[in-house]
């Protein structure tokens, strides 16, 4: 590198570093060292600032998580005006199937059915006097079945006195089944009662308290007293049901079998009627048509209201 030697004449030999290239003095090296130190310090500061800002951004993401959706916990009574109706879907699925050798029997699941419930008219029954009739129709595959349930309601409770041609899939009260899947067909496969050929009025003795008023969390009552065991209902918690753009507050209600922990049953009631049902029947037997047990499964039934109309009183 050419160097202007005249510019170095005023320097003594001591001022020229022994390790520097010929023609470069110590002052130049010192200056470059300061610049390099400044650059490194600046880079560290910028890097620290970037990490800090990123950390703050991450904290904001957690802090800004939307709060739990508020739920209206106002008391209500089940809608009871003639002409009110509900459309719903029923989905039946099989879970925890074992052993794997029976999986192929469930290849057509989940199954989907379509139901309709309507409050029809007033009548009188011997056991309860004046009652209101709630009709239910369920279509599942090629099967259609229907039922009528008989209710009364006052400021204390909603009570069911009996039924005709029960589908055991009705709202707001339904009977339960404990039948396995098998080489049967349609609703019998699901254990859903198929008695629509009969129009005999069947009395429930004693009458069933379907709902108790006021609707307050932790309220519990006995539905069926079977002596050594019982079936009760309990208001568990409030929960929102989303139907299109509507948000409907519901009381999650559990049906509790004191002697059977394999039934996990929840109904969801609101001032617009029953909106949802989620029933899980664990450890069901799968039997062939010779009634030989081939395995086990858990059955889930989910009912969801898809539309409704509450008639004016």
According to DSSP, the β-strands at 85-98 and 293-309 are antiparallel
| pLDDT above 80 (res 73) | yes
- Host H or E run for residue 203: strand 201-212
User: Average pLDDT in the 101-118 region?
Assistant: 93
Structure tokens at 47: 């890097």
Closest among 247, 262, 216 to 76, alpha carbons compared:
216
The vertex-224 CA angle with 220 and 225, nearest 5°, equals 95
Question: What confidence score (pLDDT) does residue 168 get?
Answer: 63
Question: What confidence score (pLDDT) does residue 126 get?
Answer: 87
Rounded to whole angstroms, how far apart are CA atoms 237 and 32? 72
What is the pTM assigned to this prediction? 0.75
Lowest mean pLDDT among 120-124, 165-169, 241-245: 165-169
| pLDDT above 50 (res 178) | no
Lowest mean pLDDT among 12-21, 100-109, 204-213, 237-246: 12-21
Rounded to whole angstroms, how far apart are CA atoms 154 and 157? 6
**10 Å Cβ neighbour count for 149?**
27
| pLDDT above 60 (res 298) | yes
Structure tokens at 106: 């469930």
The predicted-structure confidence for 80-94, as pLDDT tens digits, reads as follows 999 999 999 999 999
Q: How confident is the model at residue 14 (pLDDT cuts 50, 70, 90)?
A: very low
The predicted-structure confidence for 31-54, as pLDDT tens digits, reads as follows 666 666 666 666 677 766 665 565
User: Average pLDDT in the 240-263 region?
Assistant: 94
| pLDDT above 90 (res 4) | no
Rounded to whole angstroms, how far apart are CA atoms 73 and 64? 26
Question: What confidence score (pLDDT) does residue 12 get?
Answer: 47
Are 286 and 277 in contact by the 8 Å Cβ rule? The answer is: no
């Amino acid at each position: 590198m050419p160097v202007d030697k005249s510019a170095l004449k005023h320097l003594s030999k001591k001022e020229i570093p022994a390790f520097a290239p010929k023609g470069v003095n110590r002052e130049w090296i010192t200056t470059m060292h300061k610049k390099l130190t400044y650059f490194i310090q600046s880079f560290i500061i910028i890097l620290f600032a970037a990490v800090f800002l990123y950390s703050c951004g991450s904290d904001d993401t957690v802090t800004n998580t939307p709060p739990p959706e508020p739920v209206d916990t106002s008391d209500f009574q089940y809608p009871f005006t003639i002409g009110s109706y509900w459309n719903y879907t029923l989905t039946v699925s099989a879970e925890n199937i074992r052993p794997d050798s029976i999986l192929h029997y469930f290849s057509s699941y989940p199954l989907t059915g379509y139901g309709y419930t309507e409050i029809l008219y007033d009548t009188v029954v011997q056991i309860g006097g004046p009652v209101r009739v709630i009709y239910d129709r369920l279509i599942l595959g090629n099967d259609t079945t229907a039922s009528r349930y008989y209710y009364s309601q006052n400021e204390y409770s909603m009570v069911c006195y009996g039924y005709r041609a029960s589908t055991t899939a009705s709202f707001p009260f339904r009977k339960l089944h404990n039948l396995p899947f098998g080489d049967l067909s349609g609703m019998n496969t699901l254990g859903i009662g198929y008695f629509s050929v009969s129009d005999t009025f069947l009395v429930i003795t004693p009458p069933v308290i379907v709902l108790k008023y006021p609707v307050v969390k932790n309220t519990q009552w006995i539905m069926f007293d079977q002596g050594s065991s019982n079936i009760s209902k309990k208001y568990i918690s409030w929960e929102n049901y989303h139907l299109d753009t509507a948000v409907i507050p519901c009381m999650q209600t559990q049906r509790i079998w004191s002697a059977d922990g394999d039934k996990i049953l929840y109904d969801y009631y609101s001032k617009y009627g029953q909106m949802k049902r989620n029933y899980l029947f664990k450890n069901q037997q799968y039997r062939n048509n010779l009634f030989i047990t081939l395995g086990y499964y858990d059955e889930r039934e989910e009912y969801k209201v898809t539309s409704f109309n509450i008639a004016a009183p």
